[in-house]
Amino acid sequence: MDFDIKETWLHKINPSLKLLFLIVLFISVLFIHNINFLINYTVSAFLLFAFFTGHPMKRILLLLIPFVLIFVSTATSMIFFGKGETTWWKWGLIHITEESFYRGLHLGFRALIFALLGLMFSLTTRPVFLFYSLMQQLKLKPKYAYSFMAGIRLIPIMIEEFQTIRQAMIVRGVEQRKGLTNFFHKLKAYSIPLLSQSIRRAHRIAVAMEAKRFSNDTKRTFYYEIGFSKYDLCFVLYFIIAILLSYYAAKMLPFFPVTDVRYIE
């Protein structure tokens, strides 16, 4: 599969600002109890995620599949087994009420908007730029930032080592054996080499960082200079306008007559 993406204005936003602002949005969603407002808010987040992350629509839909399943499972578990007084349908353990229906949709859309905002951040933010921004804007100490970056860089190396060990075991016929005893044997054969190599590599990285004075608190220069731009303002304004329009549409053109799921009677 081709993972080339088209860089959009979302990729040019300051990573620290994007992270902090999305954390504020995450917290704000917890205080939204108007289901119509939440639905409109979710639609506005989906539009930004679908058309401005630089990924083709097919890949966007594939990434959304597990989160749609989370939406369905979260909503239906509350709808089918929630409590309420106005019964719509009952059969055995399944008891659908008006109250459980609206609360289920509320929880489902809340989980979905969390997924949309989180995916949007992960798909439009390079980890290297994020840690450089944390060091420059939020004054994160370089020894912590570069340690995290080194840890992220180790992941593909460990995957490659795992594949090498697996191919060697297939050649020796170990992978074809069945049984619980062979399972523990393969677990030992995989874990010990991966763990030992990771410890050696981590020690070498720690020595190299110490030799390059990463523990020193003096002012450092950076290969990448991360700053602010007009795209940061566009990002903030988009969500401010989207929240205001979502609230206005929830008042003028509501999907459901319920205004607050906390006070359903």
> What is the pLDDT confidence band of residue 176, given thresholds at 50, 70 and 90?
low
Task: Name the more confident of 66 and 175.
Answer: 66
Mean pLDDT for the stretch of residues 228-234:
92
**Rounded to 5 degrees, what are φ and ψ at 236?**
-65, -45
Residue 264 has pLDDT above 60, yes or no: no
Give the least confident one: 7-11, 17-21, 185-189. Answer: 185-189
Summary count for the chain: helices (H), strands (E) = 8, 2
DSSP labels for 102-115?
HHHHHHHHHHHHHH
**For the whole model, what pTM was predicted?**
0.75
Q: Give the other-Cβ count within 10 Å of 109's Cβ.
A: 23
Q: Average pLDDT, whole number, for the chain?
A: 82
In this prediction, residues 218-231 reach a mean pLDDT of 79
| CB neighbour class for 117 (10 Å; exposed up to 12, middle 13-18, buried from 19) | buried
Highest mean pLDDT: which of 44-58, 71-85, 214-228?
Answer: 44-58
